[in-house]
Amino acid sequence: MTNNWADLGNGTLFVVMGSNFVENHPAATAHALKAVDERGAKIIVIDPRKTRTAILAEAHGGRYIRQRPGTDIAFNMGLTRKIIRMMEGLEGDVDQEVKDNFFTFLNQSESQTFYNNDGTTRSRDLGSRYTDARFRVNAAGTDYVRETGTGDTDMLYFPEKAASVNEPDTVYSRLKEHVEPYTPAVVADICGVTEEELDFVARAFIDNSRHMSSKLTGDSVIGLQDPRDKGNYRATTMMYAMGLTQHTCGSQNVKSFTVLQILMGNMGRAGGGINALRGIHNVQGSTDMGLLYHLIPGYSGNPRETRVQNSEAFGMYTDKLWGQPTRYGELPYDDAYGVSGGLQARGFYNMTLKWFGDYDLIHGMPYGTRAEKDAKRAAVDAIYDLWPKTNGDDHILMFRKAVAGHITAMMVWGQNPAVTEPNQSMVRDGLENLDTLVVVDMFENETAACKRKEGSVTYLIPASSYAEEAGSVANSGRVLQWRERACAPKGNTKSDLELLLRFTYALEGAGAFSHIAAKWQAAPLSWTLSGMHPVYDKLYKEQYGWSPADATGFEDLTENLEMWYADSRGFQASAPVVGSEVVAEKIYQQCNIRPANGGTMWLYLDGYQEDYTSRKHGAAPGGAAQDDWKVFNRSKNRDSSDPNGTLAYPGWGFSWLVNRRVLYNNGDVPGDNGDGYQGPDKAARLFVCKQPNTIGYANNNWRLVHGLSDRPDVIVAADASSAEHSVYSGRFPAHVEPYETPREDLAEKWGRNTKGTAKWDLIHGQATKVATNDASYNAVNRVSADSFPFVLTTIRCVEHFQGGPITRNNPWNVEAEPTPWIEINSVDAAAKGITTGDMVDVITARSNSTSDQEGRTVGAPFAEGFIARVGVGAEDNQRVGVGVVAIPWHWGDRGLSTGSRANDLCIDSMDANTTIPEYKACLCDIRKVEM
């Protein structure tokens, strides 16, 4: 979320595409309804399914619009086209002042100060305070047109700007060309929506934008607008979840939101923004921590540069990180070796030394003379060598490699891929074929219980519950909150922290870290090592305070670690913590102290701070009155007041970045910490620049910009403008069809999504990359609506959660929602002879729902199909439209409640940028199961 949960209460329009928050984020409902009650806000739900959220919207004066699955971009580009036409006076009846505000906003420029190479500074016009709308782009350009420099500084390569967005070669004009093919008739054909519906949404957007807000509040169009002016403040928020991302074009779907919100000035405003409603309670935090094949903590990519390739690999890697300053006469990355490197670079330096070496020793090396610099660099470079270089494999591919016998051992810690992964046949073949499978979970889940090959070994290690362990979690609004250890882990179970430390100790015993020990002993480090576990002792015990070899048990740890401060008394005090609170606090401090003091998580800057003005709940140390006591660990802050009246709650937990509650706010949100756009070009981007590298101008706010690598595989059509956009469509979102689609005619015209310039197939498991327009290949591998006439989409319900272990074992949840079901339109049900309560078999090219897929599951009968819930009443008002069926995916073969797995059916085609599977659209057939 760019904003946060409570901030939803500042919005006046909620555009919801691909989220059913009433069921999946129920607390969001309360915040949205606060805005409905206090501001007359409206909710618009655009979704293939009339969800409970859609029904909520209608019940409060909003609207539901049904679309065909997988057509979000076409809708949003049609909407963009209509909004532009209304703002340009070509249609509709928009107030002149609002139209003027729209262009004033897009044309707004701003000056900033930059450093020249000789150390002097100068100000220059960045071209835009908010957006890149005025930047120049060539017709076939994949980057902005860049300045070539004026000779007097090294500030080269800034984008060239036009005087006005209305010049023909601006980003704005290119966007206008791009959306021109998305006429109401075309959008109606692709999405199944009417022009009246597009008009309605466009009008709602305009009436609830920055531009309308300025007119009503009388504020300057670029200035501060006050959300506390409830009568006049207007802001649209766009909300999405998996319904938007689980497509082959998921990233571009989200990009289509940014185009709309940037144009309408709704980014960086209270009640506005783009709000990704993330799934699991700590999915934000686990992503922050880089548990993905392409990341390390803090969104730094895996180190790629090796010293085999270049002796200055560490410097070359850190040079791409944000905030790395360059100074006259030095190599760009000189400072990264330890003194005053930029935030992300300094955090990476700290992390490198604390993860692989000895921070105190190496950081303490002098760095003045050339000889000193060389010596310290050599030490840092030696430690940097230990980072695994380059990316791993994505989740789908890892199971395929297990099938092939390439991956032979797997550890699954708190996940249940035997329910959650698409195309279960392949996943289960992979799990079966592993030599070793280690599962850590509270329950004997489907993954632990899956069918295994003869002679293989499976371990199930019992985990404690969340109430039995301390640590911080990051919610969807980026707010860190501390979880207290309410009691010791139950029975034989252990906390994750204890299990991890004991596993690490065992790893060293098995020789896993011998490469680290060898590096330490070799020149230039030449350290003398002692003991049986020198790596564990240095990198874990010394830093986190416990070893399995210690006499003190993990849960018996006690340490005065929680630091407090009281302004009135002017002193500090510490309070004792026990067990996992000790280790979790130590890790939190390692991450969250300032990078300049050795903190490793630059992203969490100021998450641990002694001068903050909030407080923890409960009594202070020694029983003192709590009112002016503060705790350094800001995730423990529990001040529930709203001092600015803007629903920001700055004293509740800690929000990255620097407790800013609305990202990209440009100082426009009262009371919030100011923010600016930090990309190389200092502007929110309508255009996806294909130039991913940092630009070489001297300024200490630059970083790698992520481009999108997908492009549709078919050249669209007739006129010059659309041919241009299709070839370079990654620049702006363009409609593509799902991998399996009932509209092959549209796929031929608009294409499917492919990755990069090589148009290779998006389905894993093919031996070689295959052209998606290869007719002979498609004849065999791509099914059509002739044999699979329905579109299958997957859904969730409020009573169950994800892969199911933590709800399908609870009697209340199971009793409330005991079995998986299928939602069918009454028209389709009648044609198939299905009535409510019948069991329905769903068949796709991959599997069906009533057989145990070649015995891939051990024990428990579960594959009985889905209970039919047939729509009632007018067909357009039912849960799903004609030709679409929906099934929940929470079920499997273990737990109090078992049921057919949706993911036996789902396709493992994937987003070209992120490799998220296309759970939301594939082709299927259905049939009634004769009992």
- Using CB under 8 A, pick the residue from 156, 188, 216, 283 that binds another protein: 283
Looking at 5-96, which runs of residues are DSSP E strands? Answer: 13-17, 42-47, 63-66
- Using CB under 8 A, pick the residue from 197, 219, 446, 469 that binds another protein: 469
For position 890 contacting another protein by CB under 8 A, the verdict is: no
- Using CB under 8 A, pick the residue from 63, 99, 203, 389 that binds another protein: 389
Least CB distance to another protein at residue 151 (A): 42
For position 833 contacting another protein by CB under 8 A, the verdict is: no
Residues in the chain: 931
Residues 218-277 that bind another protein (CB under 8 A): 246, 277
| H-type alpha helices, 540-606 | 542-544, 580-592
- Using CB under 8 A, pick the residue from 104, 153, 700, 819 that binds another protein: 819
Burial label for 121, CB within 10 Å (0-12, 13-18, 19+), is exposed
- Per-residue mark of binding to another protein, 900-929 (x: CB under 8 A): --------------xxxx-x----------
Count of residues in contact with another protein, rule CB under 8 A:
190
Main-chain dihedrals φ then ψ at residue 908, nearest 5 degrees:
-105, 30
Cα 499 → chain centroid: 28
For position 183 contacting another protein by CB under 8 A, the verdict is: no
In what helix (H) or strand (E) does residue 564 lie, and over which residues does it extend? strand 558-566
For position 393 contacting another protein by CB under 8 A, the verdict is: yes
For position 395 contacting another protein by CB under 8 A, the verdict is: yes
Q: Decide: 795 and 887 in contact? Cβ < 8 Å.
A: yes
**Sheet containing strand 629-631, strands side by side:** 571-578, 558-566, 629-631
Q: How many CB atoms lie within 10 A of CB 851?
A: 11
- Using CB under 8 A, pick the residue from 39, 81, 485, 630 that binds another protein: 485
Looking at 126-269, which runs of residues are DSSP E strands? Answer: 236-240
Looking at 653-750, which runs of residues are DSSP E strands? Answer: 654-655, 710-712
- Using CB under 8 A, pick the residue from 48, 181, 285, 881 that binds another protein: 285
Least CB distance to another protein at residue 915 (A): 7
For position 864 contacting another protein by CB under 8 A, the verdict is: no
Least CB distance to another protein at residue 234 (A): 21
Residues 620-639 that bind another protein (CB under 8 A): 638
- Using CB under 8 A, pick the residue from 401, 690, 749, 928 that binds another protein: 401
For position 571 contacting another protein by CB under 8 A, the verdict is: no
Q: Are strands 479-483 and 654-655 parallel, antiparallel or unpaired?
A: antiparallel
**In this complex, which beta carbon is closest to another protein, that of residue 171 or of residue 842?**
842
- Per-residue mark of binding to another protein, 30-69 (x: CB under 8 A): xx-xx--x------------x-x--xx--x----------
- Using CB under 8 A, pick the residue from 816, 830, 831, 854 that binds another protein: 816
**In this complex, which beta carbon is closest to another protein, that of residue 104 or of residue 458?**
458
Q: Which two structure tokens, joined as six digits, stand for 647?
A: 């629903």
In eight-state DSSP terms, residue 541 is: I
Q: How many CB atoms lie within 10 A of CB 580?
A: 27
Least CB distance to another protein at residue 788 (A): 23
Helix 72-87 and helix 195-207, axial crossing angle in degrees, nearest 10: 60
In eight-state DSSP terms, residue 811 is: H
For position 461 contacting another protein by CB under 8 A, the verdict is: yes
Looking at 762-873, which runs of residues are DSSP E strands? Answer: 790-795, 821-824, 839-843, 866-870
Measured CA to CA, the distance from residue 90 to residue 104 in angstroms comes to 18
**In this complex, which beta carbon is closest to another protein, that of residue 158 or of residue 546?**
546
Candidates 63-71, 318-326, 329-337, 457-465: pick the segment binding another protein (CB under 8 A).
457-465
Measured CA to CA, the distance from residue 918 to residue 651 in angstroms comes to 39
For position 444 contacting another protein by CB under 8 A, the verdict is: yes
Residues 546-565 that bind another protein (CB under 8 A): 548
* Backbone region of residue 298 per phi and psi (left: phi > 0; alpha: psi in -120 to 50; beta: other values): left
- Using CB under 8 A, pick the residue from 151, 231, 491, 833 that binds another protein: 491
Q: Decide: 257 and 240 in contact? Cβ < 8 Å.
A: yes
Measured CA to CA, the distance from residue 272 to residue 183 in angstroms comes to 27
Q: Decide: 214 and 266 in contact? Cβ < 8 Å.
A: no
For position 417 contacting another protein by CB under 8 A, the verdict is: yes
- Using CB under 8 A, pick the residue from 139, 224, 506, 831 that binds another protein: 506
Least CB distance to another protein at residue 543 (A): 10
Least CB distance to another protein at residue 656 (A): 11
- Using CB under 8 A, pick the residue from 406, 552, 748, 854 that binds another protein: 406
Measured CA to CA, the distance from residue 713 to residue 778 in angstroms comes to 14
For position 476 contacting another protein by CB under 8 A, the verdict is: yes
Residues 321-380 that bind another protein (CB under 8 A): 355-356
Biggest CA–CA distance in the chain, Å, is: 85
Q: How many CB atoms lie within 10 A of CB 356?
A: 21
Burial label for 111, CB within 10 Å (0-12, 13-18, 19+), is exposed
Residues 116-135 that bind another protein (CB under 8 A): none
Candidates 340-348, 369-377, 498-506, 708-716: pick the segment binding another protein (CB under 8 A).
498-506
Q: How many CB atoms lie within 10 A of CB 830?
A: 12
**In this complex, which beta carbon is closest to another protein, that of residue 198 or of residue 410?**
410
Beta bridge partners of 441: 462
Residues 711-730 that bind another protein (CB under 8 A): none
Candidates 360-368, 568-576, 753-761, 812-820: pick the segment binding another protein (CB under 8 A).
812-820
Least CB distance to another protein at residue 407 (A): 5
**In this complex, which beta carbon is closest to another protein, that of residue 457 or of residue 532?**
457
For position 591 contacting another protein by CB under 8 A, the verdict is: yes
> Residues with Cβ < 8 Å from 325, sequence gap 6 or more?
335, 340, 341, 342, 700
